[in-house]
Structure 1
């Protein structure tokens, strides 16, 4: 082997080790990013589960809203009955307290 062949082989070996080192760094960065992504996905999943639990509670609270359609006629009847009762109470209370003087 000549000196030139050994020098070229040494340079190739150095380049090869540099490329392997860079490849290792890239692989480690990709692994780190994948772990970070999995962490974010886990957080999102937990948040979605909490959101869906809250949505179920909201749905349970709002399931009676269609029944409110029947409420205005009932309120009107109650208000009319209140006016009638007020008239009765006014009629009964007229002269109350004046009769003893």
Structure 2
């Protein structure tokens, strides 16, 4: 799975909502794709992941859809349950495609 930004669309959207909002939406999509990809690599259902981190299944669905962002406690729980390091990459915008 990959998350690819569409530069033309993002430029047009930025003219409407501003660059900051576009970057925020890109970050949500990037994080959502990572969560879903790591969950699938572990052959976990949304319910299994939700149970592992003690949240509702709907929370995982919202995270994977980019509708909400996890707080620090949830990020740590996701990292532990998915057995993947928590890496904060403030320069992710420089990557055109992020392979997850």
TM-score of the alignment, normalized to the shorter chain, above 0.5: no
TM-score if structure 2 supplies the norm length? 0.27
Which one has a larger percent strand, Structure 1 or Structure 2? 2
Bigger relative CO (Cα 8 Å, ≥ 6 apart): 2
- Structure with max Cα Rg: 1
